[in-house]
């Protein structure tokens, strides 16, 4: 596996010449337009990168964009691989591992999520304080690749307290309301039943989605500092009488785009200042 990730990273390295991304950003459903913020950009379609697959899910473009945001060098993954598309967890976590092999030190993961916590409204942004892995899977299953990290990686601070403080500070300076929250990661692709949402609330989840968990596990394993931001695109099943659909998820994510762009760009700026 290590050599596979190295091949992907070497290909990108050659294409981006002297650029050295400090921060990786994985963009979730309906949030791909954040890539517009990148200056001095080099774009590489996933289809050209060894071991990257073209993404199939609607609302995902499928390319790497390298350049600067707020003067900080970044690598953006516009479109992610989901397990529900049939990708193995090893493929799902390629962007996180490539980020590290390119020399970056932080990873920002983003997603669309259904709100369970009654304090959340659609369109709001939540930074993850923790997650609950309900995918029945783990990207680290199999022989451990010591070149990535240890057999039993610690996950007691999977979401960096320092980065979360930076997100809070960025939100304050931009006048954006953010909440903290625990993310329940399921495999999908069907949305949850109302009974499942009741169960998720009882076990301590504030929101639910179908991504993020595998990438965050692999990123912690490989030694990246991680933070993640969810855009609450809908109230989870059974909380409102509305039926759920992916168009609504994309639409609400898009409506929050200005706020989302401003929060991520400012967080990147502050991370860049934090040597
Ligand atoms: N459930 C799971 N995934 C989601 C949801 C949801 O309600 N909204 C956006 N992604």
End-to-end CA distance of the chain: 31
- Distance, CA of 64 to CA of 44 (rounded, Å): 5
Test site for ligand 1: of 80, 110, 244, most ligand atoms within 8 A of the Cβ: 244
Number of neighbouring beta carbons within 10 Å of residue 159? 23
pLDDT at 59: 52
Distance 114 CA to ligand 1 centre (A): 4
Answer whether 112 contacts ligand 1 (Cβ < 6 A).
Answer: yes
Ligand 1 contact, 233 CB (< 6 A): yes
Parse the chain into domains and list their residue ranges.
2-138+153-273
Which whole-number Å values give the CA distances from 189 to 18, 105, 130, 211, in the listed order?
40, 31, 22, 10
How far out from the chain centre does Cα 212 lie?
5
Residue 18 confidence (pLDDT): 80
CATH of 2-138+153-273, one of 3.20.20.70, 3.40.718.10, 1.20.970.10, 3.40.50.1580: 3.40.50.1580
Query: CA 233, 237, 242, 248 torsion: positive or negative?
Result: positive
Q: Where are the alpha helices (DSSP H) in 20-160?
A: 89-92, 94-101
Q: Which residues contact 125 (CB under 8 A, 6 or more apart)?
A: 171, 176, 177, 178, 179, 229, 230, 231, 232, 256, 259, 260, 263
Task: Please report the pLDDT score of residue 69 as a whole number.
Answer: 97
Q: Tens place of pLDDT for every residue, the chain, 275 residues?
A: 889 999 999 999 999 998 999 999 999 988 889 999 999 999 999 999 999 876 555 556 789 999 999 999 999 999 888 899 888 999 999 999 999 999 999 999 999 999 999 999 999 999 999 999 999 999 999 999 999 999 999 999 999 999 999 999 999 999 999 999 999 999 999 999 999 999 999 999 999 999 999 999 999 999 999 999 999 999 999 998 888 888 888 888 888 999 999 999 999 999 999 86
Whole-number pLDDT of residue 242: 84
Report which protein residue has its CA nearest ligand 1's atom 5: 114
């Amino acid at each position: 596996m290590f050599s596979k990730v190295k091949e992907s990273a070497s290909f990108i390295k050659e294409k981006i010449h002297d650029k050295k991304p400090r921060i990786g950003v994985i963009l979730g459903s309906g949030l791909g337009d954040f890539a517009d913020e990148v200056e001095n950009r080099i774009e590489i379609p996933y289809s050209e990168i060894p071991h990257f697959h073209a993404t199939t899910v609607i609302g995902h473009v499928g390319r790497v964009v390298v350049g600067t945001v707020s003067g900080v060098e970044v690598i953006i993954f516009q479109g992610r691989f989901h397990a529900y598309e049939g990708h193995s967890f090893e493929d799902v976590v390629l962007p996180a591992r490539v980020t590290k092999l390119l020399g970056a030190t932080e990873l920002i993961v983003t997603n669309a999520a259904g709100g369970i916590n009654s304090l959340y409204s659609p369109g709001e942004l939540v930074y993850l304080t923790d997650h609950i892995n309900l995918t029945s899977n783990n990207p680290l299953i199999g022989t451990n690749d010591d070149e990535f990290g240890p057999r039993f990686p610690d996950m007691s601070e999977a979401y960096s307290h320092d980065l979360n403080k930076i997100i809070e500070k960025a939100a304050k300076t931009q006048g954006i309301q953010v909440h903290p929250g625990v993310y329940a990661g399921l495999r999908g692709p069907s949305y949850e039943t109302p009974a499942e949402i009741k169960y998720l609330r009882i076990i301590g989840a504030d929101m639910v989605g179908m991504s993020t968990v595998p990438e965050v596990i692999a990123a912690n394993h490989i030694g990246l500092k991680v933070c993640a931001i969810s855009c609450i695109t809908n109230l989870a099943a059974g909380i409102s009488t509305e039926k759920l659909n992916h168009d609504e998820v994309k639409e609400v994510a898009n409506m929050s785009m200005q706020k989302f762009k401003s929060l991520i760009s400012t967080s990147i700026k502050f991370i860049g200042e934090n040597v």
